[in-house]
């Protein structure tokens, strides 16, 4: 089954720029950016980010304010601060053996950097990889990591998989099945996340946000600093 998957991937795999490097910093940036953000939006932002801060040391030396500004449009701004803090930790102490020791790095991201940058024999399991392995019941090797991600993203879809074009369909016990929709995050419109985003945009524009609850939440996350009535980006 894995041979069929790898042959499919050789012909149909997505052309993503971070697949052309083994630089752990570049791969870490791609993984953090891709969390809850469509890859199509990530590609140009990733390229621009690496033009501005081409090394982990360059990012570590940047101000938190500049990192937050550069992140705008990618959402979930805490990811930017975590990435910045991780860069500072790596610049000071090197890459830890256990990458989950880095700020904002969970099990999947640690495994992805370990596999794709350091060549360690580990299979990173994201939602797409888990979906394919659970439906097929097959134990794939670490060599199939990126192929599984692409198959899950483009063919083995969450609700209505495209079994007619799947290279694994003939041996898949879930062939032809339809699945219940997974639980989705609530709508952004009208949410507290939207209020936080609006407050942060106001700070970025140099105006004073009026939503004190949103400002307090941003301050707790380190995305703004409050001095009396003045709200500004962290330094």
172 contacts: CB under 8 Å, gap ≥ 6: 135, 136, 163, 166
- Token pair listed for 59: 């990012």
The b-or-e profile of 39-61 (16+ CB within 10 A means b, else e) is eeebbebbeebbeebeebeebbe
Of 114, 147, 113, 119, give the one whose Cα is nearest residue 32. 113
DSSP β-ladder status, 230-232 and 225-227: antiparallel
- Assess whether 189 carries a catalytic annotation: no
Q: How far apart are CA 216 and CA 78, in angstroms?
A: 14
Pick the catalytic residue: 11, 31, 40, 235? 31
Q: Give the other-Cβ count within 10 Å of 73's Cβ.
A: 8
Q: What is each CA distance from 37 to 31, 41, 77, 145, 176, in whole angstroms?
A: 10, 7, 12, 20, 29
Give catalytic residues, as residue numbers.
31
């Amino acid at each position: 089954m894995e041979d069929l998957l790898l042959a499919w991937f050789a012909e149909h795999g997505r052309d993503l720029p971070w697949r052309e490097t083994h630089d752990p910093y570049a791969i870490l940036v791609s993984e953090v950016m891709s969390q809850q953000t469509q890859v199509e939006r990530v590609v140009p932002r990733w390229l621009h980010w690496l033009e501005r801060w081409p090394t982990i040391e360059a990012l570590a030396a940047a101000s938190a304010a500049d990192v937050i500004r550069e992140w705008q449009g990618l959402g979930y701004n805490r990811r930017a601060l975590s990435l910045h803090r991780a860069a500072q930790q790596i610049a000071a102490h090197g890459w830890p053996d256990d990458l989950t020791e880095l700020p904002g790095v969970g099990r999947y991201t640690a495994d992805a950097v370990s596999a794709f940058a350091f060549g360690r024999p580990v299979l990173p399991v994201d939602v797409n990889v888990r979906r394919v392995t659970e439906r097929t019941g097959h134990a794939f090797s670490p060599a199939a990591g990126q192929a599984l991600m692409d198959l899950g993203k483009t063919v083995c879809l969450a609700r209505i998989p495209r079994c007619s074009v799947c290279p694994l369909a003939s041996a898949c016990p879930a062939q032809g099945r339809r699945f219940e929709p997974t639980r989705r995050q609530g709508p952004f419109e009208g949410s507290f996340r939207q209020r936080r985003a609006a407050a942060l945009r106001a700070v970025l524009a140099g105006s004073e946000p009026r939503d004190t609850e949103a400002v307090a939440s941003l301050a707790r996350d380190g995305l703004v600093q409050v001095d009396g009535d003045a709200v500004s980006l962290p330094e």
